[in-house]
Chains A and B, each alone.
Chain A
């Protein structure tokens, strides 16, 4: 059974550009979440999608957005990139077949460097 797959794994962008990251959840998983990890910070929650709807959003500016498709695959977009957006972006998925206590599985992440 394939795990959470994220593409691309590594990318370099210039300030002011935009970037789109992709996440394919584990088959059968309907909830997809995104997290950011920067040096010195713990994993910070960006947003969560379920059935193509954003259910939760973290404390990030509007330049960070996402969406989920009908097959549960998700993308996140960062517009007008800033140097501080350089980070590891992790995607996670879960089955969501009970209200809580599901195991949440993570991908290997996409490393974004903004220069």
Chain B
């Protein structure tokens, strides 16, 4: 993997469904993995920063895991709500403050 890749590109779920997205990244020169939630016309909201292989973070109904050896991270949303509708971005960080972003997963939660 040469770039940060996210899948799926978009996702439609029903309210109450649980869902997950994938972020794949080059495992070389890795220092941190960032997840953001981005609603239209707002600033990207930082969800998690993970640095260690096996890291797991949780914030309410949202959680994330990190596997640096194989180069992937999963973001999980339990019991999706319409207000979870947003684009979820992941980004890798090497040895600087530069972030390399994937193109995001657009989540739509239907009531």
Contact = CB atoms under 8 A, between A and B. Distances in A.
Do the two chains belong together in a single complex?
Answer: yes
A45 interface: yes
Interface residues of B, number: 25
B34 A104 contact: yes
A99 B31 contact: yes
A72 to B, nearest CB: 13
A83 interface: no
B46 A108 contact: no
A96 interface: yes
Q: Is the interface of B mostly helix, strand, loop or mixed?
A: loop
A58 B87 CA distance: 24
Contacts of B31: 99-101
Interface in A94-111: 94, 96, 99-109
Contacts of B101: 35, 42-44
Contacts of A90: 43-44
Interface in B24-44: 31-32, 34, 36, 41-44
A103 B49 contact: yes
Nearest to A94: B97
Interface of B: 4, 31-32, 34, 36, 41-44, 46, 49, 51, 89, 91, 93, 95-104
